[in-house]
Amino acid sequence: MHTTPPARRLRAVALLAVGGLALTACSAGSLGSSGDDSGDGVTLSMLIDNSEQSMVPMQGVIDAFHAEHPDITVEMETRPQGSEGDNVLKTRLATGDMTDLFQYNSGSLLQALDPAGNLVPLTDEPWIDSVDDAFLQAVQSGDDYYGAPQNQASAGGVLYNTQVYADLGLEVPLTWDEFMANNEAIKAAGIAPVIQSYQDTWTSQLFVLADFHNVLTQNPDWAEEYTANEAKYVDEPAFAGFRHLQEVADAGYLNSDFASIKMEAALDQVATGAGAHYPMLTFAIGPMVAANPEAAEDVGFFAMPGEDAGGNGLTVWPTGGIYIPKSTEGEELEAARTFLEFLVSPEGCDAQTAAMPPSGPYQVEGCTVPDDLPAAVEDMTAYFEEGNTSPALEFLSPVKGPALEQIMVEVGSGIRPAAEAAALYDEDVKKQAQQLGLEGW
Amino acid sequence: MTTTTPTSPQAAAAARAVTTRRPAPRHRGYARRTYPLWFYVPAAIVFGVLFVVPTFASFYFSLTRWTIFDSEFIGLGNFQQFFSEPALVKGLTNTLVFGVVTSAGKVVLGMALALLLTAPVVARGYLRSVVFFPVLVSTIGVGLTFQVLMNPTEGLINRVLGAVGVDGPAWLVDPSIALLSVAAVDVWKGLGLAVVIYIAGIVSIPAEYFEAARVDGAGWWQQFRSIILPLSMPATSTVVLLSLIGGLRSFDLIWAMTRGGPGFTSDTIASVIYKQYQAGFYGLSTAGNVVLFLVVAALAFPLSRYFNRREVNL
């Protein structure tokens, strides 16, 4: 009587233990056999941000690559976007625990990773000559290049609903005054003139970041002066970005739910004509068209308007890069090089195009984009063809404060006036400059 | 297995007799030490490596400009910068407001619910577990759920309010009430623990006091005012202390619900520190953590001493 329950329990424990053993034996066996099946198979891991516009095209490239190189398997690992993802990436890099390949921004953000110390130089790769110079400069450190272009260049400007413009008889504004005049007409028609989406705080920064071409047309040396702690955001021409957002907010031109929506909802609004303008980066065009097919026709794109029509042009973000950390060695390193060679080739570009319609020109020679692109992408490409572009500030200066997005949310929400906000941001960047050990801070 | 037979009562008694009869070791100074010193070594190593060393390392790193790759000694520069940060003033006041509001809410509501749940009500056991349930749910989960519920246009809360003709506020995106909205959710989530502590406090009050009070003709309010309130003081001090400390270092709920926004309006010290860490200012954020440590200690120690003394006086 007394002995049965413990005995039964014992039997159960024994069963579990044996079962567990059997399971481990099983998995070990299958691991071994899968290695045998594919001969000298190499598995590469790649860390990539979890945005759709990064993951979907890269999966397309990986699938096409697998078809051509069955002996190499590439596995994607994702990380959060923004500064949270930066932390993941920097920590893994610092601890030598990085994946075999990883994706990250080009430009000044890359410099913070100390490329010469942490990355494998790609200067002697066969494909390097086919890559656009603008991109190579953004992945250069010392005499070496460290990255392969991830996908297409993007730009910052204003997405606008062409139906609203046609109905109201408006024209694409070349100056800020024309833009405000358009807004007035749009508001009179009962449509939200300018869309903001402060649940994705980073989207608030476009008024400042996308205005940078206008800053450069007024002062071509602004970026150098800024890095040297001489030019400031409280002063014109850079102050215009802060001032513009306040003007738009004060005039009541923002959508009523600006504080509570995310980027997806904002893209829906501009696609359906519930709102007229949405300051945005062009990488958002792909997801927008995927969610609202009519947006391919109905949404156009123009550069952030500045002071005078003659200087009108586009602020451009070169594409992110794919990098190989120094911790990748041996046959993994060889396989990683093979993968990059495929990525930076017309086949690689075509695989991306097939996975997701491109949102801008590829920065690789020989890569073409299809003709039936969304209207907004064609509008953007026109600026590139005219050569009417400037790189964004983060590609010219390493100084960027972390709090710009919150500060801009405050300006748009009427919590803090533009002048105070610009002064606060100037303080914010000081920390970054000191952390980087720049001269003159 | 041959040892599965239950231990007989005689054997147990014999074992007890053996332990009691054994003479206690009477070395000077070691009289009451049960185990030899080296028994403490594993715990000391774990404590040293995981707690003492990092704590002192953080004191050092708070004095440096530290990228993950190397560090440069800059003296008190980080503290100077941390205190000149405009977000910090806001964060400091918000932290205090959040700590005080949440502990006040938990004391008042916790006491009220504990009174209800110690009274003979229907389904008392079920209600007690329902009240405790939010404590068990992940904070991030609660935060994200309430973020959806509190959406000003689509959220369930404002839809319900709208259905009865009330124009609900924009809970989390209105700068003037965002922090209080988060505090309300924090009270909801942490209330269960306060209730449990209060229930324990109330049921441990001897029934004779209530009987005597009733014989003397004391009403419900007088019993509460003169018996329950003073005699559950230990429970109150525990609740205040726990929720104040929790409130001062509150981060996860705020981060899940508002990320310190809109702008900086619901930033607390902890979220300011986290953002600095995110931005890669490791030395600066370590300095912030040292400050937070000192603030919490400066508030918690006197408070706990004060409560302890009052308990003795009772």
DSSP code per residue over A369-438: --SS--HHHHHHHHHHHHT-EEE-GGGT-S---TTHHHHHHHHHTTSS-HHHHHHHHHHHHHHHHHHHT-
Residues A219 and A264 occupy one common structural domain: yes
Tell me if A20 is assigned to some domain.
Answer: no
CA dihedral A403, A408, A413, A417 (to 10 degrees): 100
Q: Cβ contact (<8 Å) for A259 and B262?
A: yes
Q: What angle, rounded to 10 degrees, do the helices at B282-313 and B233-248 form?
A: 170
- Is A362 within a domain? no
Contact at CB, B279 and A432, closer than 8 angstroms: yes
Is residue A254 helix, strand or coil?
strand
CB-based contact B4 A257, cutoff 8 Å: no
**Which residue of A7, A257, A434 is in closest CB contact with B65?**
A434
DSSP state of B48: I
Asked whether B186 and B250 are in contact (CB, 8 A), the reply is: yes
B174 vs A contacts (CB less than 8 Å)? 259
- Alpha-carbon torsion angle B239, B240, B245, B247, nearest 10: 100
The domain boundary, picked from A306, A327, A355, lies at A355
Number of domains comprising chain A: 2
Using omega within 30 degrees of 0 as the cis cutoff, is the peptide bond preceding A237 cis?
yes
Verify whether the Cβ–Cβ distance B262 to A198 is below 8 Å.
yes
Find, among B281, B279, B67, B64, the residue nearest to A93 by Cα. Answer: B67
Q: Do B280 and A403 touch (CB under 8 A)?
A: no
**Pairwise CA distance, residues A286 & A152, whole Å:** 12
441 residues of chain A, pLDDT tens digit each: 344 444 555 454 444 444 444 444 443 333 333 333 444 689 999 999 988 888 999 999 999 999 999 999 999 999 988 767 888 898 899 888 999 999 998 887 888 788 888 999 999 999 999 888 778 888 988 889 999 999 888 899 999 999 999 999 999 999 999 999 999 999 999 999 999 999 888 899 999 999 999 999 999 899 889 999 999 999 988 999 999 999 999 999 999 888 888 899 999 999 999 999 999 998 888 888 888 889 888 999 999 999 888 888 999 888 889 999 999 999 999 999 999 999 999 999 999 999 888 888 888 888 888 888 888 988 988 888 887 888 899 888 888 888 898 899 999 998 899 999 999 999 888 888 887 778 888
* Residues with Cβ within 8 Å of residue A114, at least 6 apart in sequence: B69
Closest residue on chain A to B84 (Cα)? A427
Residue A225 sits in a domain of what CATH number? 3.40.190.10
CA distance A235 to chain B (A): 20
Instruction: Assess whether pLDDT exceeds 60 at residue B60.
Output: yes
**Same-domain pairing of A351 and A421:** no
Calculate the CA dihedral of residues A157, A159, A163, A168 and round it to 10 degrees. Answer: -50
Could you tell me what percentage of chain A is helix, strand and coil, using 3-state DSSP and rounding each to the nearest 5? 50, 15, 35
Task: Determine the average pLDDT of the residues in B75-80.
Answer: 82
Which residue of B lies nearest to A423 if distances are taken between CA atoms? B86
CB contact under 8 A, A90 and B280: yes
Residues of B in contact with A199 (CB under 8 A): 173
- Test mutation, B5, B8, B81, B173, chain A, max A CBs within 10 A: B173
d(CA A253, CA A257): 12
pLDDT score for B283: 84
Does one domain contain both A82 and A198?
no
Closest Cα in chain B, distance from residue A9 (Å) = 12
Angle, to 10 degrees, between the axis of helix B178-203 and the axis of helix B233-248? 150
| Interface check A312 vs B, CB under 8 A | no
- Per the CB < 8 Å rule, is B278 touching A413? no
Distances, alpha carbon A405 to alpha carbons A329, A352, B8, in Å: 39, 31, 73
A413 and A312 share one domain: yes
Write the CB contacts of B133 (distance below 8 Å, at least 6 apart in sequence): B192
Is residue B312 over pLDDT 80? no
Answer yes or no: do A99 and A125 share one domain: yes
Q: Do A304 and A350 reside in the same domain of the chain?
A: no
Question: Does A278 share its domain with A405?
Answer: yes
Q: Is A316 helix (H, G, I), strand (E, B) or coil?
A: strand
Residue A189 lies in a domain: yes
* Closest CB from A3, A117, A431 relative to B281: A431
Orientation angle between helical segments B269-278 and B282-313, nearest 10 degrees: 160
Q: Are residues A404 and A351 in the same domain?
A: no
| A84 and A115 Cβ atoms separated by less than 8 Å | no
Instruction: Please report, as a single letter, which amino acid is at residue B36.
Output: P
State ipTM.
Answer: 0.71
Of the residues A435, A436, A441, the best mutation for testing chain B's interface (the one with the most B CB atoms within 10 Å of its CB) is: A435
Task: Establish if A37 belongs to a structural domain.
Answer: no
Report yes or no: B153 and A260 within 8 Å, Cβ to Cβ.
Answer: yes
| Residues 6+ away with beta carbon under 8 Å from B61 | B71, B282, B283, B286
Residue A148 near residue A340, CB atoms below 8 Å: yes
Any domain includes A386: yes
Contacts of B279 in chain A (CB under 8 A): 83, 402-403, 431-432
The pLDDT of residue A304 is 93
Q: Tell me whether residue A233 is in a domain.
A: yes
Nearest to A87 among B87, B175, B278 (CB): B278
Residue B132 is which amino acid? F
- Are both A330 and A399 inside the same structural domain? no
Judge if A218 and A261 occupy the same domain. Answer: yes
H-run or E-run covering A43: strand A42-49
Write out the residue range of the structural domain in which residue A209 sits. 154-317+374-436
Is the domain of A210 the same as that of A330?
no
Are A174 and A273 members of one domain? yes
Contact B72 A259 (CB under 8 A): no
| Contact present, A192 and A276 (Cβ < 8 Å) | yes
Question: CA nearest B158: which of B142, B147, B148, B169?
Answer: B169
> Is residue A383 assigned to a domain?
yes
Question: Does any domain span residue A222?
Answer: yes
Domain annotation for chain B: domains and CATH numbers: 89-313 (1.10.3720.10)
Looking at residue A44, the DSSP 8-state letter turns out to be E
Query: Residue A153 phi/psi, 5° resolution?
Result: -65, 150
- Report chain B residues touching chain A, CB-CB < 8 A: 1, 4-6, 65, 67-69, 72, 81, 86-87, 151-153, 170, 172-175, 259-265, 275-281, 284
